[in-house]
Amino acid sequence: MPGTTSRPKAESRAAFSQRGSTEKCAFCAIVTGEASAREVYRDDDFVAFLDAHPVFLGHVLMVPTRHVQTYDELPEDLAGPWLRTSQALVRAVESAMDADGSLLIVNNVVSQSVPHLHLHVIPRSKGDGLRFWLGPRHAYATPEEADAVAARIRAALAAPATASAG
């Protein structure tokens, strides 16, 4: 079935850290003060700072102060604060940069150049020239294939609940 194979480790790209990476990361160094960054926000749970290589001026990264590698590993106790803080950050970036809107990106393992959860908040304005392309697209060959994929995802969603119920 399409999408069931994974790339062998030997073919990994530079911007790819295996899940469970214990590499010391650049964002932990910023959190602890070992590395500098142009911070725009800090509290006990999160630090936000200007991206060193911005897509547009005002491009900010928000990271948890705890080392969390991927979005699905974000502890539940940080979920509400993550939402509130990221929403405030989006409003602040758009306002400060006089932007029409913003692009929010979280990479999970693939294209995650630093193995620490981080939200990109990129200010956008109509006609800014950014062509964000999500492609190539891969259509389902048949309605039955789409049904089978949906069933696999439903089963994966149900599996953790079933395992913890016993």
In the chain, DSSP finds a helix count (H) and a strand count (E) of 3, 5
From first to last of the 166 residues of the chain, give the pLDDT tens digit: 444 444 444 443 445 556 766 667 899 999 999 999 999 999 999 999 999 999 999 999 999 999 999 999 999 999 999 999 999 999 999 999 999 999 999 988 777 778 889 999 999 999 999 987 777 888 999 999 999 999 998 999 898 654 444 4
How many whole angstroms separate alpha carbon 104 and alpha carbon 109? Answer: 16
Give the strands of the sheet with 39-42, arranged side by side. Answer: 39-42, 46-50, 60-64, 119-124, 101-105
How many whole angstroms separate alpha carbon 61 and alpha carbon 63? Answer: 7
pTM, rounded to two decimals: 0.79
CB 153 within 8 A of CB 97: no
Give the contacts of 15 (CB within 8 A, at least 6 positions apart). 110, 111, 112, 113
Helix, strand, or coil here: 109? coil
